[in-house]
Chains A and B, each alone.
Chain A
Amino acid sequence: MSNSEHRWGMAIDLDRCTGCQACVTACHAENNLPLSDPESAAKGRAVHWIRVDRYYEGEFPNIRVKHVPVLCQQCDEAPCEPVCPVYATYHNEEGLNVQVYNRCVGTRYCGNNCPYSVRFFNWFDPVWPSPLELQHNPDVSIRMGGVMEKCTFCIQRIKRSKDDAAAESRPLKDGDVKPACVQSCPAEAMVFGDLNDPGSKVSQLAESGRATRLLEELGTKPKVFYLQKAT
């Protein structure tokens, strides 16, 4: 694959996750996600780069609930990439599945082809009643109507951490980079790091016996690892 220095990946420990959705709001705050309203949400146009799926197993009273945070799986064999007619979505050297907003022409083929349903189309220019726009993170673009968007693994945070390390002339350490969702998690269920570094926490968790990947049978090779509940 790539011989780049980093290969970013994530591990989500379902034994720790409580389904509290702190990650969802953290993502909204960090990434200038467009605000929905009841009308657009009813049409299925609400945007959440990360969501917490909820599954019921069994029947009352022996019923169990499973919470699974789902974000872009940053697949190594991403089904969204080959279908883009304008190469607006592609794989970069660090293994990120990148969406270039101003190259996107809005065919929505990628969203259609994503088995995880984590790509979102901006039907209109986003609107924030003033002064809510004061909250916007200047490190992240405001996406215009007509383009797709999705989780970036908080690429702006990766870059900031890299710049900080470069300014201090030191290598990036494991744990230096934390996407907003990982940072916010009270139960510390999410771990982010470099899969190229065998000593990183995420690499070790990905190697642990509990690690699985979503819809692995599709051959998408996701870089998000789910650590199943221990019993």
Chain B
Amino acid sequence: MDRRNFFKIVSTASAGVAATSCGKKEALIPLLVPEHQIAPGEEQWHPSVCTECSAGCGVIVRVMEGERIVERNGQKFRERIASIKKIEGNPLDPVSSGALCARGQAAVQSLYNPDRVRGPMHRTGDRGKAAFSSMSWDDGIAAITKAISATDKSKVVFLTTAPAGSRLAGIQRFLQSIGAPAAYTSSLADFSIERQAAQAVFGWTGMPDYHVSQARYVLGVGADFLGGWVSPVYYGGQFGRFRQGRLGIRGKLVQAESRMSLTAASADEWLPVRPGFEPHLLVAVGRLLLEEKLARAAEQLPPGVTESILGADLQQLIRSTGVDPNVLRRVARELGESEAPLVIGGASVIHSNSFQAIVASHYLNIMLGNVGRRGGPQAPHPASDVAAANPNVVEALKAAQVVFLDGENPVYTLPPSSGVAAALASKTIISFGSFIDDSAAYADVILPSHHPLEAEAAVVAMVGGPATSVAVATPFVRPLYDTRPLEQTLGDIARKLNVAFEPVTAKSFVQPLLPNGETWDNVALRGGLWLEGEANAQPLKPVSKNMQWSDPTFSGDALQFPLQFQPYLSVQYHDGRGANLPWMQELPDPASSAMWGLPVEIDPKTATKLNVATGDWVRVESANGKLDAPAYVHPAALPGVVSMAIGEGHTHYGRYASGRGANPISILAPAQETSTGVLAFGATRVRVARLEQRPSELIQFSPQDREQGPWGHR
């Protein structure tokens, strides 16, 4: 609404205001909240916590006066409300250090999204068609209670995106009290392979922390830590100090990845490793370190591991990675000779053998003697372990009778070939989400929770271990709509079911972690509890005693489907949940500058073969499905490897995301990571064909294409 129309409403609402000669007037119409609470033009900053991903950045939120029009008894009122203007990192928080990523800053657009669910609703049309009409909270809770009591409690599946913290603890306690299995997650971004690898090698529960800023030489393998992996904010800060934060010391980053990710682009050297040959590359580097006597702590390795590394065929390993042998030998030497070497292993794209790669990266760090030391991998804080990571989510969903959705969108994040979307058609589905997304469109009842910016929360950071880092949000703006805190809804359900349930509040979650002399009030005021952790100077004894590597397997016949397909997590959309934020839609994609849609990234050689140019539409087809999207000929794409960011292709997700673009997950085979059972979303083969039609333009933001008007031809 523009200001002029706004004042039209204002003047109809305030009777008795004299019209003036020019017909303009500015009346202070009845306010529902007095001005003394929010002074116009004055800013207040409140601490909160970002929940756009699970990293757990502490943020501060700028609150100023805002107005909205409300109708009461047929009369329009101008309501002065505290409104959120901007989200910045909390400078006290060690994860964000005062900065914040693009998506975290855009969270305000999820709060004020025009497509938010404004109150409880029940389904009135076919499943998946998103036809709902409103209902009362009492009816909604009664419907849920009925559904739960009529079902076998072991067949209640609760899916949540909640990171480690008070919300998740409350959900787990609720599920325990009604006798249901622990919460699951269906997001592609829970990094459960990384967690399981840390557990297998070190016995750590949670995500290892990498002290990049104190390392001198970093070899990143498969972990896009400046892009979609774990926390670009935390590692971005570390990277800045790694490069230019120390007098006379500049860290060198070598990144081995099968895609030119943001991390690879920022690296001093990029090693384009063939998809799925990350374990081979790491083992080869390990072998070179051992051979050249550069593994300063080789004695720390379990003998079985040393044996298997030394037993490997080095030539064949190096050949399989596709990396220039001389380059790899030099990198291994530089790594081994560095004063503070660090290897970061991750699975930004999950292949059938990603677990092996991360395990191998841990053994490399052990032989370099940096585990638990400055500049090396650190043990996570015990509270940061996420119990919601459950790799068997597909089977659980198929067997379920009642499904709860708390921010999760399994219809989008799990491929149709897994059969989940089809299976959901026969379940009772309850959504606590703020939006009608692909999965909520299947829901029977939607009981919207408060938006995270309206609610209280304590979130344990995924990174920053072994220090304690818990960001805390206390509510500071009134909820915009008829929503309720999830804890309250769960409490109401438990009461109706006659089970004892004590909700977990941010305060009750933080209290046991408080050291002597610290109070909850202080923590709430600062927005978090941050305690120095003792870095464990003694290298940990590995739990696992052996190491394996195997060639990756890809689903689909190599002759029919000659190309490898890599969906990936992007900075703007994460696992797809950022797609309903208009700022993210119009944020130029870092790889292709695409706005309002995402292209398929194809290497120049393949593109020439297919006669495809940037902007042409292509059909990407696997044995499990096909999608049409514009092509972007990526000069740094690996030959034969087609990549696409996850994010577009929602059937339902508000006006900004619905029906836009294609979902790369939709054509994936239900392949699994061999050791963990997690969906291997990088293990599908495809073929690509040029389409004659261009259903729409690939929109790229580049200054050359900017419309300058009739004089703009330069």
Which A residues fall within an 8 A CB radius of B?
13, 15-22, 24-26, 28-30, 35-38, 41-46, 48, 51-54, 56, 59-61, 63-65, 67, 70, 108-109, 111-112, 116-117, 121, 125, 129-139, 142, 180, 183-189, 230-231
Contacts and interface: CB of A to CB of B under 8 A. Distances in A.
Interface stretch (B105-113, B332-340, B385-393, B662-670): B105-113
Given A111-B708, A131-B68, 9 more contacts: A22-B102, A51-B703, A117-B706, A121-B709, A129-B114, A134-B83, A137-B85, A186-B232, A230-B243
24 contacts: A15-B244, A16-B240, A18-B265, A19-B265, A20-B590, A24-B588, A37-B596, A48-B588, A54-B265, A60-B636, A60-B637, A61-B270, A63-B260, A112-B714, A129-B655, A130-B68, A132-B113, A134-B81, A135-B83, A137-B86, A138-B41, A138-B65, A183-B98, A187-B237
Nearest to B260: A65
Contacts of B260: 63, 65
Contacts of B708: 108, 111-112
Interface of B: 1-3, 40-41, 64-66, 68, 81, 83-89, 96-103, 105-106, 108-109, 112-114, 226-227, 232-234, 236-237, 239-241, 243-244, 250, 260, 262-266, 268, 270, 272, 324, 480, 571-572, 582-584, 586-588, 590, 593, 595-597, 603-604, 635-639, 655, 660, 696-697, 699, 701, 703-709, 711-712, 714
B267 to A, nearest CB: 9
B100 A186 contact: yes
B593 A54 contact: yes
A141 B116 CA distance: 27
B226 to A, nearest CB: 4
Given A51-B588, A186-B237, A21 B701 contact: no
Contacts of A54: 265, 590, 593
B102 A25 contact: yes
B144 to A, nearest CB: 29
Contacts of A26: 88, 100, 102, 105
A136 B85 contact: yes
Contacts of B241: 188
Given A51-B701, A135-B85, A41 B68 contact: no
Contacts of B1: 130, 133
Contact of A63 (B237, B582, B635, B699): B635
A25 B87 CA distance: 11
B108 A44 contact: no
Nearest to B231: A186
Nearest to A231: B268
B699 A38 contact: yes
A117 B703 contact: yes
A86 to B, nearest CB: 16
B86 A30 contact: yes
Contacts of B113: 132
A134 B586 CA distance: 19
A180 B102 CA distance: 12
A108 B243 contact: no
Contact of A46 (B64, B83, B595): B595
A32 to B, nearest CB: 10
Contact of B64 (A29, A130, A138): A138
Contacts of A131: 68, 112, 114, 480
Nearest to B707: A44
B266 A67 contact: yes
Contacts of B105: 22, 25-26, 29, 184
Contacts of A133: 1, 112
A9 B266 CA distance: 25
A133 B696 CA distance: 29
Nearest to B268: A231
A42 B108 contact: no
A38 B81 CA distance: 32
Given A29-B87, A41-B596, A117-B706, A20 B237 contact: no
Smallest CB-CB A-B distances: 9 pairs: A186-B236, A117-B703, A187-B240, A44-B707, A65-B265, A25-B102, A186-B99, A129-B114, A38-B596
Nearest to B1: A130
Nearest to B660: A38
Contacts of A134: 66, 68, 81, 83-84, 112
A186 B462 CA distance: 17
Contacts of A48: 586, 588, 701
Given A20-B227, A42-B697, A64 B588 contact: no
Contacts of A60: 272, 603-604, 635-639
Contacts of B582: 35, 132
A19 B590 contact: yes
Nearest to B113: A132
B262 A19 contact: yes
Nearest to B708: A112
Nearest to B264: A65
Contacts of A56: 635-636
B226 A20 contact: yes
Contacts of A109: 711
Contact of A38 (B114, B270, B639, B696): B696
Contacts of B101: 20, 22, 186
A186 B87 contact: no
B324 A61 contact: yes
A108 B710 CA distance: 10
A174 to B, nearest CB: 17
Contacts of A21: 102, 571-572, 587-588, 590
B595 A41 contact: yes
Nearest to B62: A137
Contact of A184 (B41, B99, B711): B99
A18 B636 contact: no
A41 B699 contact: yes
A19 B102 contact: no
Contacts of B264: 65
A94 B584 CA distance: 34
Contacts of A139: 41
A133 B40 CA distance: 16
Contact of B102 (A24, A41, A230): A24
A161 B583 CA distance: 27
Contacts of A22: 99-102, 105, 233, 236
A114 to B, nearest CB: 9
A18 B262 contact: yes
A186 B95 CA distance: 10
Nearest to A60: B636
Contact of B595 (A36, A183, A189): A36
A101 B84 CA distance: 26
B230 to A, nearest CB: 13
Given A44-B706, A44-B707, A186-B100, A20 B571 contact: yes
A54 B266 CA distance: 11
A61 B639 CA distance: 10
B102 A132 contact: no
Nearest to A128: B1
Most B CB contacts (10 A, CB to CB) among A13, A121, A130, A135 go to A135
A187 B236 contact: yes
Contacts of A67: 265-266, 590
A22 B639 CA distance: 30
Contacts of A51: 588, 701, 703
